[in-house]
A and B are shown apart, each in its own frame.
Chain A
Amino acid sequence: MGHIFKLGLKHWRSDFSSAEMRLLLIATLVAAMSMTMITTFTDRLTRTMEYRASELIAGDLILQSQNSINPEWIKEAKQRGLNHVPAIVFSTMAYANDALELSRVRAVGEGYPLKGENQVTDQPYGKSQVIHGAPAPGNVWVDQRVIQALNVSVGDTIELGDSEFLVEYILVQDADRSGNFYSPFGAIMMNMEDLEATGVLGPGSRVTQKQYFTAPSNKEEQSLSGSQKGSAHPTTDDKNSDLQAVINFADWLKPQLTEHERLSGAIDSDTSMGTAVQRAQQYLSLASLVAVLLAGVAIAMASQRFSERHYETAALLRCLGAEQKDISRIFILKLLLTGLVASALGCAIGFLAHYGLFQLMQGLLPTDIMPAQWGPVIISLLSSLVVLLAFAFAPIQQLKSVSPVRVLRRELNPKPVRLNVFYLLAIFAIGGLAYVLTSNFKLTLIFVVGLSALSLLYGGLAAGFLVMIHRVSNHLPRRIQTGFNQLYRHRYYAISQLGAFAFIFTAITLIIVVRTDLFSRWQASIPADTPNHFAINVLPDTKDEFEHFLEQKGVNASAFYPIVRGRLVEINGQEVKQAVSKEDDVRAVQRELSLTWSDQPGADSEIIEGDWWPTTIKPNSIKASPSIITPEVNRVSIESELAQKLNIQVGDELTFTIVGQQLNATVHNIRKVKWDNFKPNFYMVFEPGVLNDFHHTYINSFYLKNQNTELLLDINRNFKAVTIIPTEKVIKQVREILEQTTVAVEYILMLVLLAGVVLLFATLLSTLSLRRHEAAIYRTLGASGSYIRNLIVYEYLWLGLLAGALAMMSTELLSWALYSNVFQVDWKAHPVLWALTPLFAMAVIVVSGWLASRPVMTASPNRLLREVG
């Protein structure tokens, strides 16, 4: 055993400079490099984006409770090194200038907000500024609505319960944006220290206790910001935060929650931010998957070649008395050593390259990028090793079975390995890696099942193509025919090469197609005139006037939606809380919902089950809403994700409570909603008339080009009750994330392309010695250089055409599967692709094939034959 190991080591060292070893080395290196680069980059970028998204809710994790929060949990969080800060939210009357306003008060603890920042201004609709920390004791920040309702301005005082407070700022944006946009109440932020003195919280008051948690952060930075506004506030750019600690804590906490508590994370899919981050992640993981795949194919090609080039060696070793297992050991050792060197080198280069990537994208990316972690590097290292071993195993097994008689009869080749157990293992290995890389089961499944099915198909299709064309090849022009015959003669190699090329082009075109489709669609979802203001609390009797006003000012506004506040309490007579399992975090059932009615499903939503109610009333029915007759049955349309979470089907009976009254309605259809369109979206839409008996206000959204303070103040003067909520900041952030990922994706696309081209060369080189031998014989027999050149060019043209055709078909299939199952976008055929893929493949293969086989065309036959031996 020991001596075999030594022998293997020695041979490996002396083999190191051989062409086939270099090919294997380069393939593995490229694989490791692209995996490391992509995974490290993606990992850092994703964590940065998650981090930035979590800025939007003032923490990484929010725990909410209707009771007081278990102190043991806080202790546990502290022990885990998490930062935490409490807040209490309740409703109370604010009083000033003889006016009263029911307001949502958020009393926050020292350190709020842990993430993100509050935005304030000192004049109505003035330029907003970022402010660190929270109001100092004795001060409050109130929103525009309170300012209007109480007719106060900055510097005035207002009363809350028994205490008086100085209005320090107008609150433009609370760091915690998880709340409802459409809240009909004013918002006030105060310091928790003042809470007791106000005496507003009696034993029976309804309050929501909140705890915000963030990952452990850097202490130095904390102390740096401690000087600001008297509150110890960890800066938002603590680069060492470790989201994992938060996730672990959440996992620990979840099983202990009661029905009164709710835990929510930084990224929920029903926000624009959540959708943006999710999509970017999905795309980047697709890219890394493709990198692994290309690596796999390259390594499979390279190790097949490696094995073929070692038949002689294996035969001689056998002849000199090596046992079969010795052969396996020697070659597996060689492979492992090669793999280790190549992957280590590749990982190192890839790691350095990812810095270059960030460097290149400076200015487009946020300056505080999360630090690199070892995880992705180690995963890449192991992945490339696993891929190497998985794919090289079958060819190595082949070496074991080389007959020793081969020393006497060179043409005795071992049986070629076709699809066997080892390749199945390789597919499993790739699948496992894919799952590790994407943690998306569906994506992995589509990839692995799709690609193994395709690879089976490739063989069959390629063979089919060859046979079919062979039948008709007599009718082809002579040169083209000669090229085809050449390919046909090499069909054993041609089929495997075709498969490899088809894989490479599938990978490349798929990445391009998905990128183009996703990003154009995504970009289209936030057009330049995306509504950046919401108007809420538009009273029914001023609605027409307000609408007219906006029209007059030339403002591009959305339709008005009536809003009635209510809670979903029962499903088919069963209490909702029992119907929902504890783990399911269904926000909609715990908070008040904005209920609306409409005779249209809404332009951006799609009915996926049931049908819309007929428009029995005149088109502008909403305007005339009070006069709509109450229908006999109450019908409601429900949003699809909520329906799924609550397991609600068409025909189910829902019970709502609206200001103490009960209302039953039958689910008439299920609607898919685009949450990221910045227009009013609703979980529940009723048939017009159902909500006639309830008090309602209106909401709409509109787009203002610049910060149009004049207009906003105008609205303020004319429509006292209306509150305007600017959403510009969120839109900007979503756009930024979109831009960042687009650039990242572009670079990664380049990398995948680069990997593809390298692998293309590897594949071409794999039959180079065969071609050399042939060319030498042709030359000896008197063929001119240009004859050989033509032969090669036309053969490669055929190869490109067929590979392109295969790639085109599989790209369409895969993109269809991915769109409908993972990305949730509509699939359309890509006719441009049909034309371009084969052309592209032909061009690339001919040019690189030409470069690779140039020595064959120029060298003297004597030299060639000597080389061939």
Chain B
Amino acid sequence: MAVIKAENLSKQVSLGDQTLSILSALNLEVNARETIAIIGRSGSGKSTLLSLLAGLDSASSGKISLNGNELTELNEDGRAAVRNQHVGFIFQSFQLLPHLTALDNVMLPLELAGDKQAQRKAEAWLDKVGLGSRMHHQPNQLSGGEQQRVAIARAFVTEPEILFADEPTGNLDPTTGQTIVDLLFELNAEHGTTLVLVTHDHQLAHLCQRYVTLENGALFEGRKEDPLENAEHEPTKTQQTPPFARNC
């Protein structure tokens, strides 16, 4: 059964008087419990695709169904409800709220849903990611790896069916990155979550059951030639952090 199904998906953005076509008539199906990696050059539109699949943004045309919900038929608030119930996120830049403690950050999605057990569940998840003793620390008191663990705990705490991760190790050194990846896959297997992972990392992509390549606005099953090798050394077009902060 496909939990994610995108048909004829396309996305254009207008830049002044020009329109930039990022995705065109793209199709993708992801089954329940499947792990899938999306790879592609920088600027190929991976993050854009992820934001559409996760219902963060609306497509220019095409259809997306997520866990049986037709995203394209929902308005923003409708999609927000779907995100809250069915989707978890992990980002390259962690996206923790700086003034909240680790615990509060993890509780956030539960609190938004009005879950009365928020604190207990969040504590349990922080324990699980090995931060039981750091619960009351704020993000700036935690290392990058620790911050990403908090983000992982936050992603799993609502027990989502689908998890989206955009370059989860992009801001981490290789060793730390490895432990984060291990944690992610371990938890994912344990909870049978569907995982959609965007990455540059060759090895990381191989950990997934399946991977697709994004090029010229369309998806290709498997590795096409070997774009990963090149992509590593090309200057990135849309940088989210200053160059030296990114540990390649």
Contact = CB atoms under 8 A, between A and B. Distances in A.
Interface of A: 2-4, 6-7, 10-11, 14-15, 17-18, 312-313, 316-326, 403-405, 407-410, 865
Contacts of A409: 47, 238, 240
Interface in B68-84: 76-77, 80-84
3 A-B pairs with the lowest CB-CB distances in the bound complex, closest first:
A321-B84, A3-B114, A323-B77
Contact of A14 (B50, B84, B100): B100
Contact of A405 (B56, B80, B83, B109): B56
A403 B80 CA distance: 11
Interface string B229-248: 00000000010101001000
Given A14-B99, A15-B99, A321-B113, A408 B51 contact: yes
23 contacts: A7-B108, A11-B99, A11-B100, A17-B99, A313-B97, A316-B97, A318-B80, A319-B83, A319-B95, A320-B84, A320-B89, A321-B81, A325-B77, A326-B112, A404-B83, A405-B56, A405-B57, A407-B56, A408-B50, A408-B51, A409-B47, A409-B238, A410-B240
Given A316-B97, A320-B89, A408-B47, 17 more contacts: A3-B111, A3-B113, A4-B114, A7-B112, A11-B97, A14-B104, A312-B95, A319-B56, A321-B87, A322-B112, A323-B80, A324-B76, A324-B77, A326-B112, A404-B57, A404-B83, A409-B238
A478 to B, nearest CB: 30
Contacts of B156: none
B235 to A, nearest CB: 17
Contacts of B80: 318, 321-324, 404
Contact of B83 (A17, A320, A325, A865): A320
A413 to B, nearest CB: 15
Contacts of B89: 319-320, 407
B56 A321 contact: no
A613 to B, nearest CB: 74
Contacts of B101: 14
A409 B52 CA distance: 13
The residue among A10, A319, A325, A409 with the most chain B CB atoms within 10 A of its own CB is A319
B108 A320 contact: yes
A23 to B, nearest CB: 15
A865 B242 contact: yes
Given A408-B50, A409-B47, A410-B240, A321 B109 contact: yes
Contacts of A324: 76-77, 80
Contacts of B176: none
Interface in B207-247: 238, 240, 242, 245
A15 to B, nearest CB: 5
B111 A7 contact: yes
A405 B164 CA distance: 13
B112 A320 contact: yes
A321 B242 contact: no
A405 B111 contact: no
Interface in B166-192: 166
B60 interface: no
A320 B87 CA distance: 8
Contacts of B47: 408-409
Interface of B: 47, 50-51, 56-57, 76-77, 80-85, 87, 89, 91, 95, 97, 99-101, 104, 108-109, 111-114, 154, 166, 238, 240, 242, 245
B91 A408 contact: yes
Contacts of A319: 56, 83, 89, 95
The residue among B85, B97, B104, B238 with the most chain A CB atoms within 10 A of its own CB is B97
A220 B100 CA distance: 60
A404 B82 CA distance: 13
A224 B54 CA distance: 83
A649 to B, nearest CB: 65
B103 to A, nearest CB: 11
A15 B99 CA distance: 6
Contacts of A408: 47, 50-51, 56, 91, 166
B113 to A, nearest CB: 7
Contacts of A318: 80
A1 to B, nearest CB: 9
Contacts of A4: 112, 114
A405 to B, nearest CB: 5
A321 B100 contact: no
A322 B109 CA distance: 8
A319 to B, nearest CB: 6
Contacts of A17: 99
Contact of A321 (B57, B112, B240): B112
Contacts of A325: 77
A325 B104 CA distance: 21
A326 B245 CA distance: 34
Contacts of B242: 865
B95 A316 contact: yes
Nearest to B76: A324
A316 to B, nearest CB: 5
Contacts of B97: 11, 312-313, 316
A258 B114 CA distance: 69
A321 B83 contact: yes
Contact of B111 (A6, A316, A404, A407): A6
A407 B94 CA distance: 9
Nearest to B98: A18
Contacts of B113: 3, 321
B99 A18 contact: yes
The residue among B50, B91, B99, B104 with the most chain A CB atoms within 10 A of its own CB is B99
B77 A10 contact: no
A323 B57 CA distance: 14
Contacts of B82: 321
Nearest to B166: A408
Contacts of A321: 80-85, 87, 109, 112-113
A14 B97 CA distance: 10
A317 B112 contact: yes
A324 B76 CA distance: 8
A15 B81 CA distance: 26
Contacts of A6: 111
A751 B56 CA distance: 49
Contacts of A14: 99-101, 104
Nearest to A7: B111
Contacts of A320: 83-84, 89, 108-109, 112, 154
Nearest to A780: B242
B40 to A, nearest CB: 15
A407 B109 contact: no
Contacts of A18: 99
B132 to A, nearest CB: 21
Nearest to A317: B112
Contacts of B104: 10, 14
Contacts of B114: 2-4
A403 B57 contact: yes
Given A7-B111, A317-B112, A407 B76 contact: no
Contact of A407 (B95, B100, B245): B95
Nearest to B154: A320
Nearest to B245: A865
B147 to A, nearest CB: 12
A227 B25 CA distance: 103
B54 to A, nearest CB: 8
B51 A405 contact: yes
A6 B80 CA distance: 20
Nearest to A318: B80
Contacts of A403: 56-57
A616 B154 CA distance: 100
A313 B98 CA distance: 9
